[in-house]
Amino acid sequence: MSTRHFLTDLDLTNEELLKVLNLADYLKVNPYALKALQGPQTAAVIFDKTSTRTRFSFAAGIAALGGQPIIVNPGESQLGHKESVADTARVLEKQVSLIIWRTYAQAGLKEMAQYSRVPVINALSDDYHPCQLLADLQTIREHFAAQGNAELTGRSLAYLGDAANNMANSYLLAGVNAGMDVRIAGPQGYLPAEEIVQAAQQRAALTGGSLTITTDPQTALKNADVVATDTWISMGQEDEKAQRMELFSDYQVNSAALALAAPGAIVLHCLPAYRGAEITAEVIDGPQSVIWDEAENRLHAQKALMAWLLVESGLADEQTAALVREAEQGTLR
């Protein structure tokens, strides 16, 4: 049995994605039912970038699974400085059960996974934020389940703003992997790279999903079930603030934008949010916002992912594996 890693949104098939989401739903209702890291086993949680939701959700999730997080803040290890990624992986795999890394270059995550026999999880890179999308998809499902239809297939999602960043990439890939109709809107020069679009098209052909890349926010918003955005000014772009505020102004998620979406559309934002920039206060704090549920679901989705990866990699005990297999079918509550 080979080790399973989660480096991009497409590292799960459509079927596997639904299994992880079902397990996440189960763990939200039964937060301490699964002890995949009992021992306690340890998990390395490495941060090259500052974090709030990622740090707290992974630390709390590892503890809830019976494990102990070892949190490494920027500059606290030799990784990338005095020691190579490959050598770090060889050391860590002997001492921890999971490696969770929030970093810059996707290439580092690939190298870590190449040399690690324990699962490596992308907790954010410059190219993708796949753990966030697990939480987002869980949030979409649970919101619409309350209205009688939890299906992701066929639902439409509009993403507005900086469409060349990691969140846009992950919305595109995870969305079509779930069989959704994904519309990505941003100004010319700030749209997804061609290789991301091609990967999304290939996955959409397998799942029934669809995608639209446009510079017109109204095209993306028309009758959308879900409206999502992200900060216009990511880490390292602070000196571009004035330029970006003007460039993305037509892509703000405000009441006028929501009026173009479907009645009852919900709003997502991965946070931190800047009220009055990419999203208005009346929207983020309004009745259509599910942003706080989305933030909570980082915990449940990541717990499900960690347990599932351990089982799939043959690194979980029989009791854990049996419970995961049962819960991922969506029949346990």
The residues annotated with a catalytic role in the active site are 102, 129, 132, 230, 270, 298
- Joined tokens for residue 209: 């999903």
Residue type, position 29, single letter: V
Neighbours of 319 (CB within 10 A): 12
